[in-house]
Amino acid sequence: MKIQRFSKIGFIMAAAGSAVGLGNIWKFPYMTGEYGGGAFVLVYLITIAFIGFSVMVAEMLIGALGRADTVTSFERLAPPGKKWWKYAGFMGFNGVIIMTFYSVVIGWILYYLFTIVTSGLPETTEEAKRAFNTLVGDQIAAQIFFHTVSVIIVGYIVYRGIKAGIERINLILMPALMVILFGLLLYAMTLDGFREALAFMFEPKWEKLNSEALIRAVGHSFFTLSLGMGAILTYAASLPKDASITQTAFIVTFMDTLIALVAGLVIFSFLFQFGAEPGQGPGLVFISLPTILHNFGTLGVIFALLFFLALAFAGVTSAISLVEPVVQYLIDRFHFTRGKAVLLISFIYWLVGIGALLSYTNSWGKVMSVGGKPLFDILEYTTDSILLPLGGFLISVFVGYLLPKSQLFAQIGREMGERAYRVWYFSVRYIAPLALLFMMLNLMGVIEL
Ligand code: PFF
């Protein structure tokens, strides 16, 4: 089997495309709003720097050395007698679980693009709330339709493969996304709300930081960097030969963080300009933002379209990286054609995705819930809080304890220099696994913070 290689810039854009997603533009701002701003942001930044970046280097390394799908890469690199480590490669399946609800949210975004074009923006918060709640609570057919459109777009790109699909689309959508977001930032900077947004995001209010916020910040740093499910690993199997893992991981981490901060600043500047509340949960982008933008007249409609377009771009480039690992696995291990693998996987998450969207509706909500929790939330919680940290834990243990030290030093030490290498090695061996273990045990209720 021959693995296609990315170009250097293609790899950076693809990995950044994976990292920069709904997590940055939708989830990060509303979490920051809910958990009170500055202190949450600070914890998030520290986790990214000390744990996220190290695990990203480790995950890229497994891909670059394994040069295959997730399962085969772990199997190849595991020492003799420990080949059962290949089962860690099943972390690739996390992506399919994430896709069940991720694709539904992309569907909402496409629906918003559509309605903004056809009927403009809502005039009052009441109206915006009603529109969002009706979509999520009652409009089953519309949701299924746009979820299906999202499945088809993502499936088609993955079907075209690493070079003609994934690399090409990322080379177009990522720069476009950045131009839109930085353009919106420039405008936001002219508003009075911008100062307030800066203060809200960067002045830590420690009293707001409870243990839940702390755990969510760590969990989110994994989600936002696409770690712990083999997306970065699978892409790194196609890393160009002479690319530096350290440098690439650094650029990707930096871009991801920058875009989350810019998205936050843009949204909060608009909100504060008109005195809106930051802590509104997942509806922040779907309810408050469109209402606020309505105040800007025609310009507001253009801003809203650009914003949701950027959100759609970010979502799609991440979604393809959620599907690719399992597709590559089916091709490598079971000799599927790419087309068949994409069809099978897409069908599975399309179907479960319908279950997820039904779990928020008034008519089916009860049926699609377990123990009073909607299926949507169960899927999100399981991946975000348990499976991704578990994946990150396995990656850091594998690289920190099972790969030969000489091999690590030969690659990462050469790239980073000895001193930085020591810090990285320490993080991968001790800080990352302990923090992740602690977090999982806490979430499962075994230990309390
Ligand atoms: N990093 C993406 C985001 O922030 O939206 C989500 C994601 C993509 C998570 C790919 C995990 C992954 F493997």
Tell me the DSSP string of 146-170.
HHHHHHHHHHHHHHHHIIIIIIHHH
Q: Which domain holds residue 219?
A: 8-443
Residue 151 and residue 338 in contact, taking contact as beta carbons nearer than 8 Å: no
* Exposed e or buried b per residue across 364-377, where buried means at least 16 C-beta atoms within 10 angstroms of its C-beta: beeebbeeeebbbe
Paired tokens of 31: 């979490």
Paired tokens of 149: 């459109």
Residue 229 CA to ligand 1 centre (angstroms): 9
Q: What is the C-alpha to C-alpha distance for residues 62 and 398, in angstroms, rounded to an integer?
A: 9
Write down the pLDDT at residue 1.
Answer: 55
Q: What is the C-alpha to C-alpha distance for residues 173 and 18, in angstroms, rounded to an integer?
A: 12
Residue 340 CA to ligand 1 centre (angstroms): 24
Nearest Cα neighbor of 193 from 123, 91, 295 is: 295
> For residue 214, how many C-alpha atoms fall within 13 Å in the half-sphere facing its CB?
14
Q: Is there a domain that residue 109 lies in?
A: yes
Q: Is there a domain that residue 449 lies in?
A: no
Q: Is there a domain that residue 2 lies in?
A: no
Question: Which protein residue has the closest C-alpha to ligand 1 atom 12?
Answer: 226
Question: Which protein residue has the closest C-alpha to ligand 1 atom 13?
Answer: 226
Ligand 1 mutation target, pool 24, 322, 390, most atoms within 8 A of CB = 322
Q: Is there a domain that residue 1 lies in?
A: no
Q: Is there a domain that residue 448 lies in?
A: no
Q: Is there a domain that residue 214 lies in?
A: yes
Write down the pLDDT at residue 2.
Answer: 64
Q: Is there a domain that residue 53 lies in?
A: yes
Q: What is the C-alpha to C-alpha distance for residues 431 and 66, in angstroms, rounded to an integer?
A: 24
Q: What is the C-alpha to C-alpha distance for residues 431 and 448, in angstroms, rounded to an integer?
A: 19
CA 195 and chain centroid, separation: 28
Write down the pLDDT at residue 89.
Answer: 96
> How many domains does the structure of the chain reveal?
1
Q: Is there a domain that residue 3 lies in?
A: no
Nearest Cα neighbor of 43 from 199, 200, 209, 203 is: 209
- CATH number, domain containing residue 168: 1.10.4160
Write down the pLDDT at residue 434.
Answer: 94
Question: Which protein residue has the closest C-alpha to ligand 1 atom 9?
Answer: 226
Helix (H, G, I), strand (E, B) or coil at 373: strand
pLDDT averaged per 10 residues, the chain (length 449):
83 96 93 89 93 96 96 97 96 96 97 94 90 94 98 98 93 94 93 94 86 83 94 96 94 97 93 83 85 90 94 96 97 96 98 96 91 92 87 97 94 95 96 91 77
Pocket-forming residues, ligand 1, beta carbon under 6 Å? 18-19, 21-24, 95, 98, 223-224, 226, 229, 231, 318, 321-322
Nearest Cα neighbor of 93 from 218, 228, 237, 222 is: 228
